[in-house]
Amino acid sequence: MSEVGYHTGSSLDRIDRQILEQLQRDASISNVALAERVSLSPPACLRRVERLKQTGVIKGVVALLDAERLNVGMVVLIGVVLDRSTPQSFADFEAAAQHISGCMECHVVTGEFDYFLLIRTRDNQSFNRLHAEQLIYLPGVRQIRSFMGLREVLSTTQLPFGR
């Protein structure tokens, strides 16, 4: 692929994939070290990384924080069933979900539930307070089922592309 090629998830070449794998492991790696690991010159490596950012393949660069040390180690998965399946009820719920304290993810799903939320909170008491102050007031909700995480077995931010 030429240096000026357009990138989508399916048109990444081997070097792009190597760059992404390295950055998923450690985004704080210097450009010089990254270039060395993927066998490119530093300027060519930097151009590729910038192009991956410009095309949206790299959406952002963040620090991964330790939830336990920040006192939000409890994970609660919440299944939500809406009382109606209309575009407006989905839009209202999704707008409200943006403001739930500690909500890390919200997914529309198939099956028994309409949505699954992943919430991080301190402990049972803080979750009970969140439930009483926010969750029961979500618009259009018929049922909420909460699943408390007992132990984290796997959590990763690395996408499994190209495997």
For residue 61 the two structure tokens come to 């660069």
pLDDT digits (tens, 9 = 90+) for 128-148: 999 999 999 999 999 999 999
What's the confidence (pLDDT) of residue 7?
Answer: 44
Q: How far apart are the first and last CA of the chain?
A: 20
CATH of 14-55, one of 1.50.40.10, 3.40.50.2300, 1.10.10.10, 3.20.10.10: 1.10.10.10
Cα separation, 82 vs 59, whole angstroms: 31
Q: How confident is the model at residue 69 (pLDDT cuts 50, 70, 90)?
A: very high
pLDDT reading at 12 higher than 80: yes
pLDDT (0 to 100) of residue 1: 36
Burial class (CB in 10 A: 0-12, 13-18, 19+), 119: buried
Domain layout of the chain by residue ranges: 14-55, 68-148
Looking at CATH, the fold of the domain delimited by 68-148 is given as Alpha-Beta Plaits (3.30.70)
So what's the pLDDT on residue 6? 45
Residue range 8-28: mean pLDDT, rounded: 89
